[in-house]
Structure 1
Amino acid sequence: MKKILTSTALLVCGLNAISPAIADDDKSFDAHSKNAFAIAVFGDSPYGCKAGECPADQPNIRPDTKDGPNPGDPRQIEATPAFIKAINDDPKVRLVLHVGDIHSGSQYCTLSYNRTVLDLWTQFKNPLVYTPGDNEWTDCQKSKEGGNVKDSNGNYVDYANGNPVANLALIRSMFFSKPGETLGKHEKKVISQAQGYDPAYPKDAEYVENVMWEQSGVLFVTVNIPGGSNNDDDNWFGATTKTGEQIQEVAQRTAADIRWLDAAFAKAEADGIKAIVIAEQADMWDLDGTLPAAQHIAKYKPFIDSIAAHTAAFGKPVLLLNGDSHNYRSDNPLVDNAPCLIEASNGAEAACTDDSYDNQPHGYNVANFHRVVVHGSYFPLEYLRLTVDPKGKYTESDSAFGPFSWVRVNP
């Protein structure tokens, strides 16, 4: 235990050494600013149609073909510039956060599509922080996303034939080409794990997508936790067993992610931070209709254990933001029978009919935690305006918690 604590302490010293050099250019929103600001949070967007769902009677939508499902319904892509403008025009928003999945689970994984999204995102005037989702890398090996699928000319339709490791490398090379810098016209300096990794674990430097920064008394940390099953329960390319490459990917990333969470909480303690926001893609409590359901999400337990233990020890508000399950949800899955609000099928909000707490092993009781799932994957496009007020001390509710308050915006 002493060795682990020493390693964490050394890492925090390293992170603090990096921080001054990469401080945000906007001094009115530095780590200990008293100023409130808002973040536009969205995910699972832009989505295309799923196999068999592309309307053939609409001329602007390419129907499914004999070579496989349509590589993309353009309607959300076409709506994205107006969506970005709406966020740009929101005077309260100072930062944008995308919580993963830049296309649907039935779209091909191609360099050209990634480039389309990246080009669209250059239109954001504010800094954009992005954490990858399963659809753009772990699920590329599935046939419905183009894995092992060839076009009529005999060429594989996916980048690297859908190999997840290769597709994650592609995402990194395109969306994280400048470690420690966000996307968007006004870039923000952040600490990437590629810069602030624990030297005892040099392979952690690969996780350029994991970042953290401090702003207005809050520490923000992103972690690459893909939806579905943490890339563990779905064997690549439909094989009967897992390949060594898959086993290694899961083990190495899970360990790196947990060390990054360790570092984030340690830094928050060292810097006297008032609250923490964790952003990742997976809904780690979502059964998703999969059977056996509990097995499918079982490999998220190490992350939940880490977050629960760290949050309880921290003793201050910790807010988790995720996408993946598509319907807006506000709850605390670390407390049994906690109040819960969800987006119903008609888009209205209603009390939840299930308790996320029951979907993972029990034993947690962490009251200073809250989770919000952001809306995604279908029209209308929507973002969550998350306001951070360092002076705020909100009683936990469906739309507020500690220094945080939020509202759904449907521009």
Structure 2
Amino acid sequence: MRTRILMAAAASAALCAVPAMAGAAPGGPTADAGNRSFTMAVYGDAPYGTTPTDTAETDATPAFVASVNADPAVDTVVHVGDIHSGKQFCTEAYDRQIAGLWSGFADPMVYTPGDNEWTDCHKKAEGGGVYNPATGQVDHVVDSAGNPVDYAGGDPVANLGLVRSIFFAQPGATLGSGSLHTLSQATAYDPAHPADAQYVENVIWQRKGFVFVTLDIPGGSNNDTDPWYGAPSMSAAQQQEVQQRTGADLRWLGRAFDIANAQDAQGVVVIEQADMWDLDGKPSSHLTQYEPIVSSLAARTSAFGKPVLLFNGDSHTYRSDNPLEQGAPCTGDDGVCGYDDWNSHPSYDVANFHRVTVHGSTVPLEYLDFTVTPGGHAKTTATGFGPFTWSRHIEN
């Protein structure tokens, strides 16, 4: 029978030095005891469809869930964002369908949203619309009855609200089954920044001397700064979205490292959707709005001095490297290592960092068996970094 872990958000004397957050004890979730290794299934950018009516991967998801459930090592599931493709519509019915499928996981599931389910819902290809310069309004994609096909006409903020209402209805609770409890920014926000309370999707949990943190960082749109609906410039609502979320992410990342330092944690695992180093055929300036997050991540990691591993999705092609160190070894698919991602955010030199870009939109569906071994100090390889190891699990 698989292990079920309860992470209580209780105070700990070891965390007295960590600044208090609203609605929670000063420390955050307590860590469980023991030093046995544990394994998570990590995947993302799935299910995907090539057209609005392509349901092949969605139809295959129940069998995929059953396969993960049958993996005797796995006791937690992590999804790094994008529950549909950029060619599928953003609808409430679809979001609820995915939540229903995920309820079949026999283990706790942690999910961080991707750009396709909220920030990119404004795009015409996703059922949003196009800015009309003649009218100054948005021409929405409509159905046969003349109604917008997307939820709220593709408005990103409204779609994030929808995602929160379906997947994060109870702050700190996870999806799937089991009793993993996380600390949500919604209940542990910095009182000096009350707007941070809306980021229920940002969570922290601890396990066997390791701190895990999720951050809502959408990929594909330069941290959501590509103007919505293709308008000439960002609206006031979009500017507010970017400013508030980026600030909240930075504070939550700092919170995770504060906990890790106070607990003398063995390592930190950061989970977010954006591939903040992927040019995707665009100039390096298209990654500028990720720089504050990359800078904070680099500084915090360097000061922590122990292994920090980041999982991201977004670019779909599997990659294992350290983009915070120039010329670091790289392993990946389809020639992805031909470009040194360090060049996307140069000047950093942080050796105790590693990044894994999770494969996405694959047929058949697949996931990473990600194992954490307390006390592990393995050399960095294509599939290992200190206490962390991983392998690809491809369905037949």
For 2:290, the equivalent position in structure 1 comes to: 300
Task: Note the 1:3-402 alignment, pairs <5 A.
Answer: 9-11=18-20, 16-17=25-26, 19=28, 30-49=31-50, 70-147=51-128, 148-290=140-282, 293-344=283-334, 352-360=337-345, 362-402=346-386
Q: Is the 8 A contact 2:20 2:27 kept in 1?
A: no
- Mean Cα displacement is larger for which, 207-216 or 148-157? 148-157
Q: Is the 8 A contact 2:319 2:336 kept in 1?
A: no
C-alpha change, 1:256 and 1:230, in structure 2 (3 Å) is farther
Which secondary structure does the structure 1 equivalent of 2:20 belong to? Answer: helix
C-alpha change, 1:13 and 1:77, in structure 2 (3 Å) is closer
Q: Distance between the aligned counterparts of 2:91 and 2:22, measured in 1?
A: 40
C-alpha deviation, 1:230, in angstroms: 3.9
TM-score, normalised with respect to structure 1: 0.87
C-alpha deviation, 1:304, in angstroms: 0.2
C-alpha change, 1:300 and 1:158, in structure 2 (3 Å) is same
C-alpha change, 1:299 and 1:166, in structure 2 (3 Å) is same
Q: Distance between the aligned counterparts of 1:367 and 1:311, measured in 2?
A: 9
1:168 alignment partner AA? L
C-alpha change, 1:13 and 1:275, in structure 2 (3 Å) is farther
Q: Please, which runs of 5 or more residues in structure 1 have no aligned partner?
A: 1-6, 24-29, 50-69, 345-349
C-alpha deviation, 1:71, in angstroms: 2.1
Q: Please, which runs of 5 or more residues in structure 2 have no aligned partner?
A: 1-15, 129-139
For 1:54, the equivalent position in structure 2 comes to: none
For 1:26, the equivalent position in structure 2 comes to: none
Identity percentage of aligned residues = 53
Q: Distance between the aligned counterparts of 1:72 and 1:373, measured in 2?
A: 28
Q: Indicate the structure with greater strand content.
A: 2
Q: Distance between the aligned counterparts of 1:234 and 1:184, measured in 2?
A: 34
C-alpha change, 1:12 and 1:394, in structure 2 (3 Å) is farther
2:43 alignment partner AA? F
Which secondary structure does the structure 1 equivalent of 2:391 belong to? Answer: strand
2:296 alignment partner AA? S
Q: Distance between the aligned counterparts of 1:242 and 1:321, measured in 2?
A: 29
Which secondary structure does the structure 2 equivalent of 1:138 belong to? Answer: coil
TM-score, normalised with respect to structure 2: 0.90
Q: Distance between the aligned counterparts of 1:230 and 1:297, measured in 2?
A: 6
Aligned residues: 369
Q: Distance between the aligned counterparts of 2:197 and 2:272, measured in 1?
A: 18
1:300 alignment partner AA? Y
Q: Distance between the aligned counterparts of 1:8 and 1:295, measured in 2?
A: 39
Q: Distance between the aligned counterparts of 1:18 and 1:153, measured in 2?
A: 53
Q: Distance between the aligned counterparts of 2:357 and 2:315, measured in 1?
A: 7
